[in-house]
Amino acid sequence: KRQIIVDCDPGVDDAFALAMAFAEDALDVLAIHTVAGNVPVEHTTKNARGLVQLLGVDVPISKGATAPLLFEPHFAAEVHGKNGFGEVELTDLAPLSPLTAMESYVKILSEAEEKVSIVAIGPLTNVALLIKSYPELLDKIDCISLMGGGLKGGNTTSAGEFNFFYDPHAAHIVLNSGVPIIMSGLDATEQSTFRQSDANILKEKGGELGRLLHDISQSALRFHKEANHTDYMNLHDVMSVLYLVYPEFFTTKDAFVKVAYDEGVMRGFSHEDVRLQASNNPNAKVMVGLDDEKIIRKVLQTLTDKDVS
Ligand code: BDR
Ligand code: CA
């Protein structure tokens, strides 16, 4: 089994990613670390605790950074709702670990006998702080499978994808850490589609979890209809989990990726340095394509535990 720590800002698609991570037999979730991103960290932490309680799994949940390394927070309530879960309030919460996200990283990595993978599906603030604070622990990290960036431009601004835009300095630090990176960026994740009809299947056949995922996705589906004129939302974060189990669903390319971290129109922009001397130094495996049909089928099958063909 691959041991993973999920660093997240739930978040509608984060909730799908967490649900998939627990459902996949090949993955063992050692801890969930929260970070401010889509909404403030109080909300992302509460949502993680509510989801874990509903899933009935036993996993430590640690609270992480409340703000980006340098910039002020910039939330995405218009997509995920003010509380991050489309205004669905969970009240039955799993306990919060007394360890901070940083303390939990240090404990898990220093005690680990085998390498651990980090699935980072929110802003990279916690991971960057770990890299800068405990470089001696980096060789305990097998890879960082992150959702962020894209070679084609952004979704929060024309340049910046949300996670990279929110904390571009953290993205820069992570990409330059020397740890193997799988970057699920918008080039691929925007090819993933989750429609109202898929939400309805979850609601009908997915039990309590399916009902929750249906309910929290309503505001995001509405946002995409109004803002993007699409009848689907993207399951961005799910790809960082699925890649670890089903790499055959994806196409990737090795690239030397750089992130613009200055304030301004290019904030959070990630791009490939295509100069010949740079192509000798890929720092990330960048996801550039995916098989949407196989992925949505896998997600629906797993979360309803039934054949949905
Ligand atoms: C990313 O930003 C967040 O809103 C999503 O949860 C995902 O991690 C997509 O750009
Ligand atoms: Ca996220």
Give 138-188 pLDDT, tens digit per residue: 999 999 999 999 999 999 999 999 999 999 999 999 999 999 999 999 999
Ligand 1 binding site (Cβ under 6 Å of any ligand atom)? 11, 13-14, 38, 76, 79, 121-122, 147, 155, 161-163, 236-237
Give 52-92 pLDDT, tens digit per residue: 999 999 999 999 999 999 999 999 999 999 999 999 999 99
Any idea what DSSP says for residue 227? I
What pLDDT, on the 0 to 100 scale, is given for residue 279?
77
pLDDT band for position 308 (cuts 50, 70, 90): low
Give 209-254 pLDDT, tens digit per residue: 999 999 999 999 999 999 999 999 999 999 999 999 999 999 999 9
Give 84-116 pLDDT, tens digit per residue: 999 999 999 999 999 999 999 999 999 999 999
What pLDDT, on the 0 to 100 scale, is given for residue 309?
45
d(C-alpha 29, C-alpha 21), whole Å: 7
Catalytic residue list contains 236: yes
What pLDDT, on the 0 to 100 scale, is given for residue 138?
98
Any idea what DSSP says for residue 225? I
Q: What is the ipTM of this complex?
A: 0.99
Q: Cα of 148 to ligand 1 centre, how many Å?
A: 7
Tokens of 119: 């699935």
